[in-house]
Structure 1
Amino acid sequence: MVQLPIDPLKPLFIEKLSQHHLVVEAETGSGKSTRLPLWAAESGKVLVIEPRRIACSSLAEFLAAEKSEPIGKSIGYAIRFEAHFDENTDIIFATPGVALRWLSEGQLTKFKTIIIDEFHERRWDTDLLLALLKDSSSNTSNSSQKQRLVITSATIDSQRLTQYLGAEHLKAEGRNFPVTVEHIAVDNRHSPDIRSIENKVFGTIQTYLNNQQALGQNQGDILVFLPGRKEIAQCQSKLKPLSLNFGIDVIPLHASVSDTDRQRALTASEHQRVILATNVAETSLTIPGVTLIIDTGLERRTHQRNGRTVLGLHAISRASAEQRKGRAGRIAAGHCIRLYGSAAPLELITPPELHREELIEPMLAAACCDHRLADLAFIDTLPEKALTQAQERLTSMQAIDDKGLITEHGKRLYPLPIDALFAHLITAMPNKAATEAMVDLAAALSISNKLWQKTNSEEVLEQLAQWEKHHCDAMLLIKLLREPTPDFLTVDADRLQEARQISAQIREALSLPQLDVATSVKRDAWLAAVIKAAPELAFVRREKRRQALGNGYCEVTLGRDSRLSDKAEAAVVFDQFSLPGKGGKQTLNLATCTSPIPLSMLVDLELGEQYHHESKIIDGQCISTTQRIYSGRVIDEQTQSVSDLVTTAMIVEMIQNNQIFPGLATEREHQIEQWNLFLKLGLADPTLCTRNNPADLNLWLNEQIEALGVDSLDDLALFNNDDFIFDGIPEWEQAEFDERFPRKIYIADLHLSAEYAAAGKLVTVVYQSGSRKQDPQRWELPRWQGWRIKYRKASRIIDIR
């Protein structure tokens, strides 16, 4: 077996493991991911938690090959859809999601040692798993019976983590070969930049290959770190000429690559390779032959913005930069080229996911393990706002009770390998057909990439409209899972197979028929059931901004891949993709999977609020109109004839709308405004004025109608405007006061109104209409002696002196 830098640590590791939890700090490439499981297995069964599926399978396969054994004998792995182990397997590699489910089912007790590898990534599931295991360990009184925890990483805050666990700290020094670092940014403070990233990568690789060729050298493979699949595809296309000219293999490596590309990336080759990878290659995976790292300094990660989890482009942390550098120097001296400045302002470590994402999934997982998330001790305190939001959502789903404990409904949701909302929708469906439809849609939306690519071809779009006639994204995805793929659609076969596997797994768990005998669903009835279970998924289209839809809580913009017809006025939005706005802009929420519904469905389900809109007298009858409003839009309007008896509110409304007693509301509103100003100026003489409080037009009219005893249309005919007398400013003072404090002012080519702030003795003259461009002059306005005067036109305000 090849000697690795971590090997001298073995005696101390075995000695300390018998009595303590361990925090093992070792540089990338030291061999910790392969050696520690073998050493720990000498004293019992070992579970190794790896953050990514590709690392689980690759590490297990590597160790099994080292022992010349088939996978699953003494070394196996468990990931979604795949399990290669039995009761006699000594070492099992698993993803955190699998480990959390096993913990909720009490299956982790059979492991003597649990290793959480690459903890520095600070995923929510590894943080939660560690908190749960720490709590369980602290409740075991017999030290010799305690399950041992080993936390490993190349770059961690080891002192803080050691203190948190009450563990021993071990450190392995050195690597096989040194790695030199070069920064090629013009300015040493230049931050990582995605602009023209494919050109930068192309130029860097071309220069390197030309130098190699000039020196007659082949110094090994090149590993390029890129933020996502989009950039990998761009670079792959850009590098084609180099592939032809230099005979190199260009290989993509990300979470969704095919098994063929994964094996090409992880297996040594006689040809020089350029491997274009996301963070999946940053930890755990050993890519043989790499001597040059090209680090763009970028990654895509989630963060909270305006109360939503969004996926954004970020500069990596210094810890991640070190991890990337460490991928070289395994077989020979390595070199790391960073496409950013040596003094770029990078964070020290990547913020934990529990601080960057919603806490719905962690809270549900903790509850299924009989713990309240808020009660667990984490390395970093959880944000209160996110805890409250998660509790509200899960309580509304009835997944947890008011005390935060798991319900029977929650127990049914948790094992389903999908988002908690979709799990809730599946279990809330009223019949088998609707349940199957929800299962298939949830499976299609749970994969990491789009199943199909939309085209601009009119011919293809017409064929698509014939194949799926409702312009319904959800039904299209369901049909893709259930039926043979149409020739005219561009479909990702690997992702389609993955979605079908998820569907089959959930169908089996719920004792539903398999896909080939799926039950046909009535679309409208199914969507109505979805809205009943999750009303927040119902959106209405904005009447002016047709690409936008709202639900009263948030707004979404139709994504370019959505097929929602412009004729659709409402939709169920099953899936959103949130992008951070630039600078101070709001988060952009793209609706990526929609299902059109009629507005009448929202009315039938009683969404929104019903309001009295207006009352009118037409041909001697009182006609009342009510509106139902959802997310600021009228979705229904009902008009009915009211009997002879009318309410006070209806009469007041008709007065204010000049339907009856025309001019009364305008006259009395002026008198009331003037009275309120008169009162504030202290001009009211208690011996002469019959009232001493400010007045309100609406309340005053209600009082008058009640006092006059009006309750029918016939009664209204007995009165006129003169019967509604406002007893405010004494009659003999009214004209003089109006002249001193006018509300409307007319000067040359200007119509103005006046607003009075008595407390500060301020008059604001407001432009209403007129062709004059010059501002009003002080001499043109009323005297207003002792008052300050401002002039407002639109958003412009000036002092008039």
Structure 2
Amino acid sequence: MNNLLPISALKAEIMRAVKDNRVVIITAETGAGKSTQVPQFLLEEGHTMVVTEPRRLAARTVSARVAEEFGCDFGYQIGYRTAYEWKWCEHTSCLFCTDGLALVRELMRVGRHDVLVLDEVHEWNLNIEVLAAWVKKELELGAKFKVVLMSATIEAEKLSAFFWNAPIITVPGRQFPVEDKSPSGKDMAGEAIALLQQGRNVLVFQPGKREIGETVEAIKASGIAAEVIPLHGDLEPEEQAMAFRRYQRPKCVVSTNVAQTSVTIDDIDAVVDSGLERRTEVVDGVEGLYLRSISRADSKQRKGRAGRCKPGVYLDWCPQAERPEFPKAEILRTRLDQTVLRLAEAGFDMEDLEFFHQPDKKEIHEAKRALKALGCMSESGEVTPIGHQVSRLPVSVQFARMLVEADRFGVVDDVLTITAILEQGEITTRPKSKWEEPVWKTLVGDEQSSDLMAQLAVWRAAERMSKDQMREQGVFAKAFFQAKEKRRHLAEALRGKVNTFRSSGNREHILMAVCAGMVDHLYHYQYGSWVNGGGQRELARESIVRGAEWIVGLPFNLDIPVRRGRKTLQLIRMATKVDPAWLVEIAPQLVKLEPGLNPSYDSDADCCQSTCRTIFNGQVVAEVREATPEHPEAARLFAEWLAGQMV
């Protein structure tokens, strides 16, 4: 335990509040020590607990730090568990985990833990939002466990009111003064270089991996004698660990917002902040990646990272006046289908739960509609057998639906690989240069029907390549190995949930399984663009699909800079050509037949005919003229025709 941290002075008050109340709220400024010290306070008093963190990186690093300070073997009394990795045992009394509802419910229902600690509540990601609603419902139903909510910046009074006027304990931070400075006119890399030349350790906040890579390269290209280290969630643990080491010369860590709250780099004394983040939002039911300004609360946290060890400086690129006070909660800007399904699986209707940030009923209804389209929910709102299978898989509802259908068709092995690629992102892309096209074509062959089958072909080839060969042939080595790791974790999660991992390799069955997960995104080619009920879209530039009339794919909006501001591209990613005949088999609940349309008498065939129209999810996918001898309208037309012949 670290008795020098500010929160140590409030240990007695915190423990008294936990003893006397069901819910306690702790707000602490940066550097107060809440994440590492509160679990130790509880352990000393004999409590057993689950501590949630919003990211795997935080669950792993914070639990290791707590074990070190508490003086016990990591993985014994103190450990961690996430969906894909763990270090704990049956004797673990302080278990850090990521904040998914299923995992936390499982751990708390076992009954071995009497306190649930929710850390970094201010982030209000979807999991935290659902956990807070679930906790409130469980406590209302008489659950006996205690709850501690912790955050650096939070709407404390509002949260207290949400939890029946729970007590608030405010902890001052151990913070050196941080001076606000205006950018000098250099770009962000230039500002970082100037600070490194002053001997400072610099933390640069960028919105995404692309900007991080560009900044790292620019700083290195200057020749400055400094350690320049990227930091984001897709790096391997050993790569992430480099940001926390101390070096003989100045260091510059270029990070996403993972360094804003979840982890602390102790020796930083300068922050260069883009004032931006790249986040996923759903607009009109379609997911997109948008560049957004951070909130003033986020800015305050980033600034605080510069004053942990000594006086620091903060350079901010975005005017504070243009920012909202708090970030927009994830539950208000993301798809809710997976949340609705998992809550239904747990026995809750999302419409009946009280959330701290209450989503619009319209969004919940849209999620239920999407689940019904996938066959996961009945018209009455009950979870179907398919829905039960889907809810237990640690991937999006769409991708889980593919795997369920793959099991039915006996192609799990291939679709498991496709799912890992979809989760990770493509492992190759069509070259921009025509000179590179022939090399790339050797990997994908003549494939023109499915981007996913092209990716699968590249995967199979990459398994026999060295890293150098991958680079030469346009395979993203890092993405491939990360997708391979995702596939391994998915295979473990599927064990015991599918009939066989073997795959017949039947191409049509693989494509039908893919289609089953994307039936809600069926597009028809008309007048140079792809249309469905949601408007017009275009295939992503890297798509290899050609000559198709019907496709399924992932709609995606991409926010890009243009000469006069920004523009949103309405794209379809990972497209696959579809035979409309498949739709009747894989999603019969979406098929509607309209027979007997436009009846007439065909004198050549000597029969009455009418049109039978097949409608799939609101779109006409087939029209067939067929004989309808008993159709009353056709009989009338025949009589009229006959009368005309007799004139």
* TM-score of the two chains, using structure 2 as the length reference: 0.86
Aligned 8 A contact 1:282 1:323 in 2: yes
Q: Secondary structure at the match of 2:359?
A: coil
Please say if 1:563 is aligned against 2:544. yes
Please say if 1:521 is aligned against 2:515. no
Please say if 1:539 is aligned against 2:523. yes
Say what the alpha-carbon RMSD is for the aligned residues. Answer: 3.5
Deviation readout 1:362-414 (Å, 9 max, x if unpaired): 22222232222111122232211011112223344454455645455433222
Q: Secondary structure at the match of 1:288?
A: coil
Q: Mark the CA change 1:600 to 1:396 in structure 2 (over 3 Å): closer, same or farther.
A: closer
Aligned 8 A contact 2:400 2:517 in 1: no
CA distance in 2, matches of 1:414, 1:136: 21
Q: Secondary structure at the match of 2:315?
A: strand
Please say if 1:452 is aligned against 2:428. yes
Deviation readout 1:775-795 (Å, 9 max, x if unpaired): xxxxxxxxxxxxxxxxxxxxx
Q: Secondary structure at the match of 1:239?
A: helix
Tell me the residue number matched to 1:775.
none
Aligned 8 A contact 2:600 2:609 in 1: yes
Q: Secondary structure at the match of 2:149?
A: strand
Which has the larger displacement, 149-158 or 108-117?
Answer: 108-117
How far residue 421 of structure 1 moved from its aligned partner, in angstroms, is 2.2
Deviation readout 1:439-494 (Å, 9 max, x if unpaired): 332232123x432343241222320233x745522223445556625542413243
CA distance in 1, matches of 2:109, 2:460: 35
Tell me the residue number matched to 2:81.
78
Q: Mark the CA change 1:432 to 1:41 in structure 2 (over 3 Å): closer, same or farther.
A: farther
Q: Secondary structure at the match of 1:388?
A: helix
Please say if 1:41 is aligned against 2:19. no
Aligned 8 A contact 2:27 2:153 in 1: yes
Please say if 1:499 is aligned against 2:486. yes
Tell me the residue number matched to 1:424.
401
CA distance in 1, matches of 2:631, 2:170: 85
Tell me the residue number matched to 1:155.
153
How far residue 131 of structure 1 moved from its aligned partner, in angstroms, is 1.4
Deviation readout 1:661-711 (Å, 9 max, x if unpaired): xxxxxxxxxxxxxxxxxxxxxxxxxxxxxxxxxxxxxxxxxxxxx7xx971
Letter in 2 for 1:287: I
How far residue 63 of structure 1 moved from its aligned partner, in angstroms, is 2.3
Deviation readout 1:414-453 (Å, 9 max, x if unpaired): 2211011222332244635234433332232123x43234
Tell me the residue number matched to 2:444.
465
Tell me the residue number matched to 1:133.
135
Q: Mark the CA change 1:586 to 1:391 in structure 2 (over 3 Å): closer, same or farther.
A: farther
Pairs within 5 Å for 1:721-736: none
Letter in 1 for 2:306: A
* Structure showing greater Rg: 1
Question: 5+ residue gaps in structure 1?
Answer: 187-198, 213-217, 651-705, 720-801
Tell me the residue number matched to 1:763.
none
Deviation readout 1:740-770 (Å, 9 max, x if unpaired): xxxxxxxxxxxxxxxxxxxxxxxxxxxxxxx
Aligned 8 A contact 1:315 1:346 in 2: yes
CA distance in 1, matches of 2:86, 2:385: 27
Q: Mark the CA change 1:513 to 1:274 in structure 2 (over 3 Å): closer, same or farther.
A: farther
Tell me the residue number matched to 1:295.
273
Aligned 8 A contact 2:25 2:169 in 1: yes
Tell me the residue number matched to 1:595.
576
Pairs within 5 Å for 1:10-25: 10-20=11-21, 21-25=23-27
* TM-score of the two chains, using structure 1 as the length reference: 0.71
Which has the larger displacement, 627-636 or 11-20?
Answer: 627-636
Aligned 8 A contact 2:398 2:517 in 1: no
CA distance in 1, matches of 2:368, 2:75: 40
Please say if 1:223 is aligned against 2:199. no
Pairs within 5 Å for 1:313-392: 313-341=291-319, 343-392=320-369
Tell me the residue number matched to 1:760.
none
CA distance in 2, matches of 1:262, 1:479: 31
Tell me the residue number matched to 2:125.
123
Q: Mark the CA change 1:383 to 1:639 in structure 2 (over 3 Å): closer, same or farther.
A: closer
Letter in 1 for 2:322: P
How far residue 304 of structure 1 moved from its aligned partner, in angstroms, is 3.3
How far residue 8 of structure 1 moved from its aligned partner, in angstroms, is 0.9
Aligned 8 A contact 1:710 1:716 in 2: no
Aligned 8 A contact 1:359 1:387 in 2: yes
CA distance in 1, matches of 2:594, 2:560: 34
Deviation readout 1:502-534 (Å, 9 max, x if unpaired): 3322332425555xxx42321213434554676
1:110 to 98, 101, 112: 112
Identical columns (%): 26
Aligned 8 A contact 1:436 1:507 in 2: no
Q: How many residues align?
A: 624
CA distance in 1, matches of 2:346, 2:135: 11
Aligned 8 A contact 2:403 2:513 in 1: no
Q: Secondary structure at the match of 1:251?
A: strand
Q: Mark the CA change 1:262 to 1:105 in structure 2 (over 3 Å): closer, same or farther.
A: closer
Q: Secondary structure at the match of 1:276?
A: strand
How far residue 637 of structure 1 moved from its aligned partner, in angstroms, is 6.3
How far residue 293 of structure 1 moved from its aligned partner, in angstroms, is 0.5
Q: Mark the CA change 1:312 to 1:469 in structure 2 (over 3 Å): closer, same or farther.
A: closer
